Structure 1
């Protein structure tokens, strides 16, 4: 099944905007560029197909407020947010507001294209709730109570030391739990762990 629709890129940084445009175009994807969320919302394109790729931190209207307004307008268009390093809490907030996925900068070009193509697939939401969603739920259910608690703390942006103090553990023990979480959830890094946890329904709106 091929990806369809335009990618609406919303990014203040002109250099990054142009780089994203080139990357998407070289991958056979159609991109429409917007300097800001305000410009995008002033005359929004038809949103019955395609997806939005937006930075989460922008001057003026940021990615979080954009998501709120899209939700208030009743749009169900897939939204992918780009976050800075360490913006896990913002990414969680974005996904609870309806973002489809998030990418942490600096990101790999191939990874971005893969995420965009997934968002452009027809019936993306139904697919996410079918077998793949069930598999994620099973991964989540395989966690022990302590592993689930550590996961919750990681998603909320807490450090290993903070988690250790909260549960009266050593930082080394927290590292062990974290490694087990990565293995059971099949995540390569904390960003992917957060995405998988939210998509599995661990942290509903």
Structure 2
């Protein structure tokens, strides 16, 4: 079950919105301030934040910036008692999932929270996939990475063999090992994996020479 972190200094609002969300099956944790939310003992739970814009101390937008700086990327559904368009624009540009005006209809709130939690699920899945690809890439030997980099550059087996000073059969052996270790069934799938590694920059520390963008398609042997 995903958690909704409800941050609002008004206890009446917290009670009302908590009841609505719990009736829809969400786990709700309420906080009377941004500071109380930041001090929560469990920072590993995932879900979304329903966040009041105007609060004493650290306000909603300041909390959004703080979480971004700390790398906490949970989606935020903002609540405000004022139809402040410039504020809503700033919040959305900074990555907010939605911006709702109080009093908010139950159906509107629930729909926004569901969408935000789905956004969080997709983001988490993408992070997990990127981490798995980086782990697979990390299992390659230095020579296998050289061969992979050459494949990304579109070189043929015989060209790679000449560059590395080995026989073509050796390149074919490394290529098969690369496919196995990366879990790729086809060269096209392998190139797609490399493109993902490049776009997430997961391969940068240990993969100089790999493209950050879309990998080139190697020529036929």
C-alpha distance in 2 between matches for 1:91 and 1:97: 10
Q: Deviations over 1:122-152 (max 9, x none)?
A: 206999xxxxxxxxxxxxxxxxxxxxxxxxx
Q: How does 1:66-77 map to 2 (within 5 A)?
A: 66-77=63-74
C-alpha distance in 2 between matches for 1:97 and 1:25: 28
Summarize the Cα distance change of 1:87–1:45 in structure 2 as closer, same or farther, 3 Å threshold.
farther
How many residues are treated as equivalent by the alignment? 124
1:9 aligns with 2:1: no
Summarize the Cα distance change of 1:106–1:124 in structure 2 as closer, same or farther, 3 Å threshold.
farther
RMSD between superposed Cα atoms in Å: 2.0
**Which 4+ stretches in 1 moved above 4 angstroms?**
124-127
* C-alpha deviation, 1:93, in angstroms: 1.1
C-alpha distance in 2 between matches for 1:21 and 1:48: 17
* C-alpha deviation, 1:86, in angstroms: 2.0
Partner of 1:58: 55
Partner of 1:34: 31
* C-alpha deviation, 1:43, in angstroms: 2.7
Q: Structure 1 unaligned segments of length 5 or more: list them.
A: 128-205
3-state SS, counterpart of residue 103 of structure 2: coil
Partner of 1:139: none
TM-score relative to the length of structure 2: 0.52
Moved more, 22-31 or 98-107: 98-107
Q: Structure 2 unaligned segments of length 5 or more: list them.
A: 127-221
C-alpha distance in 2 between matches for 1:44 and 1:97: 26
Partner of 1:95: 92
1:110 aligns with 2:107: yes
C-alpha distance in 2 between matches for 1:42 and 1:71: 16
C-alpha distance in 1 between matches for 2:51 and 2:116: 13
C-alpha distance in 1 between matches for 2:113 and 2:70: 23
Q: Deviations over 1:69-110 (max 9, x none)?
A: 000001111111002232111111111222111111221111
Summarize the Cα distance change of 1:45–1:99 in structure 2 as closer, same or farther, 3 Å threshold.
farther
1:45 aligns with 2:35: no
